Amino acid sequence: MTQRILFLAAILFLIALTPSLAPAQAKPGEWERIVELGKKEGKVVVSIPATSELRQAVEDGLRKRYGINVESVPARGTTVTRRIVDETKAGIQYFDIHIGGSESIVTGLLAENVLEPVEPYFILPQVKDPKQWWGGHIWIDNAKKYIYAFQAYQTESLWHNTELVKAEEIRSFDDLLQPKWQGKIAILDPRTPGSGASMWSYLRAAKGEEYLKKLVAQKLQVGRDQRLLAENLAKGKSSVVIGVTYYSLAPFIKAGLPVKPLPNPREGVYVSGGSGHLTIIKNPPHPNATKVFVNWLLSKEGQEAFSQAIGQATRRLDVDTRGLKAYGMLAAKDGLTLDQYYKLENQSEKKVYEMRDPGADLARKLLD
């Protein structure tokens, strides 16, 4: 009996010495101090996707919750990342945070060494705890430090005008090659980072380069303005559009115009993080307000606001994303395994260089 007691005592002693595997808790009063310092800094400057709904959601959300203003800069990813790099190298510290698609971040920010590690900005337990997130904490960059993916879903970037195309007419990507669709298919320019390039690179991997040559021969309408491509679809100037995401089509859907997502083709579609990638610019001018914004954004409240405004699916397990199926989207946490996610994703740093770059090279060859 004595030996058993000594054995149990030794086990308890070792457990006491072992560091906890649970997320570290903020020190008492630390969060309140950060919020107060953030208020004194006055604002946080955040680059976001170009949608007025998202702009209102993030500005109203942070101000109402913590009394800190958000100066949001809605812009196309390739444009704003170039600006951030140029200003940073010139010693101008204006932006604190950039949120957007992964490719423009990987090639435009990560490659230029202008990003700070994100995880040190996680303060609140509900943000730090990987158990709150489907798949745990998922990083886009190889170093698993600089680009945090807070969204994951099977894409909804194939849309049709319901008055011109019946959903059952497009059951395979091969159906897009039918002569009746010549001149009636539009695509977000795959030569530049974005969801058009994502779908193009997926088609290159799934269907081959010969397929893309035939698709181009369909006299594609190629554009770089998502909103204009969405409007053209709604007005019947195109029958099908590839690479335009829900937030650009939302105003036309809400207006009752005849646009709907196509069902996933037989070949399937890739898995995306959409615009849900968080980065922090090196030496942010408002460091405490940045911490407050990061923790609000990644909280349940922030993820609900972001997801509803942009129509893309968060990985937070306590946010209901089932309603997004109405927009042709399957949240990863609602129907995919982690193995499927890693097989189908094309947003990571590795996939950007292995899949998207060669796809963009082919697009320039065929479309220039």
Whose tokens are 């976001």? That residue is 48
Q: What pLDDT does residue 25 have? A: 56
**What is the 8-class DSSP label of residue 139?**
B
Q: Give just the sign of the alpha carbon dihedral 112, 189, 99, 348.
A: negative
* pLDDT for position 200: 95
State percent of the chain over pLDDT 90. Answer: 79
Chain segment 285-344, per-residue pLDDT in tens: 999 999 999 999 999 999 999 999 998 999 999 999 988 877 667 899 999 999 999 999
Q: State residue 19's pLDDT score.
A: 38
Going along the chain from its start, the domains and CATH numbers come out as 30-152+273-336 (3.40.190.10), 156-269+358-367 (3.40.190.10)
Residue 17's CB is within 10 A of a number of other CB atoms, namely 7
- 2 vs 360 pLDDT, higher one: 360
Predicted model pTM: 0.83
Reduce the DSSP state of residue 158 to 3 states and report it.
Answer: strand
105 contact partners, CB below 8 Å, separation of at least 6 = 77, 81, 98, 140, 147, 277, 279
pLDDT digits (tens, 9 = 90+) for 16-71: 433 333 344 557 699 999 999 999 999 999 999 988 899 999 999 999 999 999 99
Rounded Cα distance between 328 and 260, Å, is 8
Quick check: 12 pLDDT over 50? Answer: no
pLDDT above 90: residue 8: no
| CA distances from residue 20 to 23, 123, 347 in whole angstroms, order as listed | 8, 17, 33
* Token couple for 230: 């969405």
Q: Which two tokens stand for residue 339?
A: 């193995």
Q: Render pLDDT for 258-268 as a digit per residue (tens, 0 to 9).
A: 999 998 899 98
User: Residue 122: its pLDDT value, please?
Assistant: 98
**Number of other CB atoms surrounding residue 22 within 10 Å:** 10
Average pLDDT over residues 161-176: 96
Residue 113, pLDDT above cutoff 80: yes
